[in-house]
Structure 1
Amino acid sequence: MTIPVDIAALGARAAAMIEQLGAISSAPDTLTRFFLTPEHRRAADLVTRWMGEAGFAVSEDALGTVRGAWHPAGPDAPRLLIGSHIDTVANAGKYDGALGVILGILAVEAVARSGLLPAYGIDVLAFGDEEGTRFPTTLSSSAACAGVFAPASLQARDGDGISLREALRAYGKNPDDIAASAYDPSRVLAYVEAHIEQGPVLEAEGVPLGVVTAIAGASRLSVTVTGEAGHAGTVPMRLRRDALSGAAEMALAVERIARAGTDGMVATVGRVHVEPGSVNVIPSRVVFTVDLRSASDASRRAALTRFEADAHRIAEQRGLGVVISAFHEVATVPCYRDIQRRLGEAVASLGQRAPLLPSGAGHDGQAMAKLCPVGMLFVRCAGGISHNPAEYASPEDMGMAAAALIRFIERFQQPPSDGGTSGAQT
């Protein structure tokens, strides 16, 4: 069965819903919506209303994830999960996360009203803690669904000293119920998420949609470079042990490594602290961060090894000390090949080309991959801008994405072509 799709109408509805959800903020002139706040509650209530109007059975779990269930084959049938998040960063754009929830609602509503009765059910999920902006945690909502929530996270505190446990209780949830939020992996087929690209590739390619190959792994390092302070006017250049000059050379080294890397590798030096920080004193100590990402764990580890060697070489040549410590490590999450293929075919059926590309940003799929196979559909965004009020996806592109999800759902009943992990057979 091929469901008729009106791309313009789907896009117009998505745009209107984006504006409604984007108006829910803790700040009058910007969009800021943190996890387990009154604004999160209002956003969850709006999503609940939309899901109910679409004909879904709606529930909410112990981490506040709103779940809209459409189960034409009965409650015991296996499920396809479609979702994203409704929390934001501070001074955010309207599309990051919210678009994926809205597109899931629109696509499943269209399928349900078409009369198509697949042999599986679909749950549309609206997570609440993807950004990690309120607590020093992230992906706690999707981790609970995946059955990998870390109980120690309940002790994490926000800037006001409120713990996650306390915030959940204030939100009306019982932290003791978190374990019951987990899906049974034997009854979940896959998790699929539509999301703005948050990068410029699709716009450069001139296409509205792309298929994600992997969610990049990330390593974050703290690099401390030590030298010797001295008078800026009296120490000759050849005799200096300038920690900042050494750190700058190391920063250029990691940039060079990333530029020569593969698998969409990127590297960023985002924070630099200089001591003593005086205009007329040679820097004696510099601490800087490195964020290195790649869609291949092997290439990322090799790049880290090269950087460490380069940093020690630079330090030795300049008479400096250097200490490198890792403080964050997330493995690459490959997207399931068969889901990539099906998403590509769904886009092709609409007369569009969908390039394959990695995601350099993190997503709920990283947690959900511990439950089931995952896949992602990227939607073109203007200028590749995200986490910014200028974030924008056109109604035409959003409508195309909704239509692609409808086509994907139509085709999902067929068995996968490449086997797979537990829960992958459909």
Structure 2
Amino acid sequence: MDKQERIVEHDAGARAVRRCEELGCDPYSDMRGGLYRPYLGTAHKAAAEALRGWMQGAGMSVRTDAAGTMIGRYEGSSANAPALMIGSHIDSVWNGGFYDGALGVMLGVECVAAFARRGLRLPFALEVVAFGDEEGSRFPLSMLGSRAMAGKAVGDVGQMRDRNGTTLQEAMQGVGLDVGRMGEARRRREDILAYLEAHIEQGPVLEHEDAPLAAVSAIAGIQRFYIRVQGQAGHAGTVPLHMRHDALTAACEMVLGIETLARAHTADFVATVGKIDVHPGAVNVIPGSASLSVEIRSADAACLERAFLQVQDLVQGIAERRSVGWEVRDHQTFAPAPCDGRLVDLLRCGIRAEGMADHVLVSGAGHDAMMMTDWVPTAMLFLRSPGGISHHPDESVIVADVQAAFDVMVNFITHLPEVLDISATQGTVA
């Protein structure tokens, strides 16, 4: 492909948005009056078939892998060339928004179509991947498709059940897949050049900065755990305040202490207590025990480790002062996922080339891209989320932002050979 040629398609963004909106309605949702598209459900199967048609119309051959991920491929200038993957997910949370995940897939389709319409071949293939399960909204394991593709361990998942009692094994059988063969979804590292994911920000930062787009430098790691506080239940009317071992008041002080600790950290560090369970939970009984969920996130692994220890020190001090017991349960760790610096810079160059301010963000939310970063060079492009709203029916995008994202992605694809030092940068006519 001639390096001087610039692909211009003014309606690509609007078309990507329309297709997301089309997938937000019957038969592409398993709930009435809103969007719910769980992995391997009826709506997911219908959406995959619609997507298959769009991929084929864009010039791609299409297949479904052993984990239910749909893969569209547009060959490069030589047979069996490694591929740049452009992907995201097509499942949704209950009563979710139209653009979370799906927009990144539709933008990938638009990028391939733009090259195919001109008969242009690159020194690498283009693949659009639509993961079937990122949200974990049906079975209790998220990012199943991207885990399998990247060769991450998924464990013995066949007997996981959804809320209706259907096992993953049964759900996969229903669409002609075999859970025992899920490992066949793993791709060879040498067959993948890089991974690019476009996604709505799902937060308010870009809107606050009046910025349409941002390159993502990393996806935050997570430490997630529960703190169980053990006090002593008693009659609310007969036990004096100074003699109480109130688990709930201790837990409340811990919540506020964790918030104060988080505010003292760096800007990309956040801490959230999202759930508190209290027992016995009666209006006239002093709470005897309380359990609170704690989640801390940062792109800095060392920061996460320090913060986890600081939370424990904080909790211990409060527990000793209030004469209650405590313990940490169900501790889970998800490592930070840094994007490839070369690809981050390439996205930033593309953003500047469109006349926009150069913004770089850390993603606080998890994405399929975090399964890729330690496997292949990975980049993410964020689009502004009006109102900072996501996982909600009011989730929206601005068509001009989507068009700008398309332009930046085409620039990324065009200049990728220079960044990764790929030979034969002159493409051929199909």
**TM-score of the pair, normalised by structure 2:** 0.94
User: Corresponding residue for 2:298?
Assistant: 294
Code of the aligned partner of 2:23: L
Separation in structure 1 between the aligned mates of residue 234 and residue 411 of structure 2, nearest angstrom: 67
Separation in structure 1 between the aligned mates of residue 343 and residue 227 of structure 2, nearest angstrom: 39
Code of the aligned partner of 1:60: T
Gaps of 5+ in 1: 420-426
Go from structure 1 to structure 2 and tell me whether the alpha carbon gap of 1:370 and 1:177 turns closer, same or farther (over 3 Å shift): farther
User: Corresponding residue for 2:7?
Assistant: 4
Q: Deviations over 1:18-71 (max 9, x none)?
A: 111111101120100100011110000011000001011111111111111011
Correspondence list, 1:12-51, <5 A: 12-23=14-25, 24-51=28-55
Contact 2:13 2:107 in 1 (8 A): no
Separation in structure 2 between the aligned mates of residue 175 and residue 188 of structure 1, nearest angstrom: 24
Contact 1:263 1:296 in 2 (8 A): no
User: Corresponding residue for 1:348?
Assistant: 352
Code of the aligned partner of 2:122: P
Separation in structure 1 between the aligned mates of residue 211 and residue 24 of structure 2, nearest angstrom: 25
SS of equivalent to 1:192: strand
SS of equivalent to 1:369: coil
User: Corresponding residue for 2:426?
Assistant: none
Deviation at 1:267, TM superposition (A): 1.1
Q: Deviations over 1:247-281 (max 9, x none)?
A: 00111111112111225111111111111111122
Contact 1:218 1:330 in 2 (8 A): yes
Matched, 1:64 2:72: no
SS of equivalent to 1:153: coil
Separation in structure 1 between the aligned mates of residue 303 and residue 170 of structure 2, nearest angstrom: 41
Q: Deviations over 1:159-205 (max 9, x none)?
A: 22222122111111133442332211022111110000001110011
**TM-score of the pair, normalised by structure 1:** 0.95
Correspondence list, 1:104-123, <5 A: 104-123=108-127
Contact 1:219 1:326 in 2 (8 A): no
Matched, 1:222 2:226: yes
Gaps of 5+ in 2: 423-430
Runs (4+) off by over 6 Å: none
Contact 2:7 2:114 in 1 (8 A): no
User: Corresponding residue for 2:274?
Assistant: 270
Amino-acid identity (%): 42
Deviation at 1:146, TM superposition (A): 1.1
User: Corresponding residue for 1:422?
Assistant: none
User: Corresponding residue for 1:157?
Assistant: 161
Matched, 1:142 2:167: no
Separation in structure 2 between the aligned mates of residue 269 and residue 177 of structure 1, nearest angstrom: 38
* Match 1:261 to one of 259, 265, 279: 265
* Match 1:241 to one of 226, 245, 249: 245
Separation in structure 2 between the aligned mates of residue 10 and residue 38 of structure 1, nearest angstrom: 28
Matched, 1:79 2:83: yes
Contact 1:263 1:299 in 2 (8 A): no
| Worse-matched range after superposition: 199-208 or 276-285 | 276-285
SS of equivalent to 2:224: strand
* Match 1:191 to one of 192, 195, 199: 195
Separation in structure 2 between the aligned mates of residue 307 and residue 62 of structure 1, nearest angstrom: 41
Contact 1:83 1:193 in 2 (8 A): yes
Q: Deviations over 1:353-399 (max 9, x none)?
A: 23111111111112223431211000001111110001001111111
Deviation at 1:213, TM superposition (A): 0.9
SS of equivalent to 2:233: coil
Contact 1:3 1:111 in 2 (8 A): no
User: Corresponding residue for 1:280?
Assistant: 284
Deviation at 1:235, TM superposition (A): 2.4
Go from structure 1 to structure 2 and tell me whether the alpha carbon gap of 1:296 and 1:202 turns closer, same or farther (over 3 Å shift): same
Contact 1:85 1:128 in 2 (8 A): yes
Code of the aligned partner of 1:410: T
Separation in structure 1 between the aligned mates of residue 79 and residue 267 of structure 2, nearest angstrom: 41
Separation in structure 1 between the aligned mates of residue 17 and residue 81 of structure 2, nearest angstrom: 33
Code of the aligned partner of 2:406: A
Tell me how large the CA RMSD over aligned residues is: 1.6
Separation in structure 2 between the aligned mates of residue 126 and residue 95 of structure 1, nearest angstrom: 13
Q: Deviations over 1:89-131 (max 9, x none)?
A: 0000001000000011111211232343321111100000100
Matched, 1:392 2:391: no
Deviation at 1:157, TM superposition (A): 1.6
Separation in structure 2 between the aligned mates of residue 287 and residue 176 of structure 1, nearest angstrom: 37
Correspondence list, 1:269-418, <5 A: 269-416=273-420
Equivalenced residue count is: 417
Go from structure 1 to structure 2 and tell me whether the alpha carbon gap of 1:343 and 1:285 turns closer, same or farther (over 3 Å shift): same
Separation in structure 1 between the aligned mates of residue 407 and residue 389 of structure 2, nearest angstrom: 24
Q: Deviations over 1:268-318 (max 9, x none)?
A: 111111111111221111011001111111101111100100100000001
Separation in structure 1 between the aligned mates of residue 181 and residue 234 of structure 2, nearest angstrom: 59
User: Corresponding residue for 1:97?
Assistant: 101
Deviation at 1:238, TM superposition (A): 2.1
Code of the aligned partner of 2:277: H
SS of equivalent to 2:262: helix
Separation in structure 2 between the aligned mates of residue 102 and residue 410 of structure 1, nearest angstrom: 19
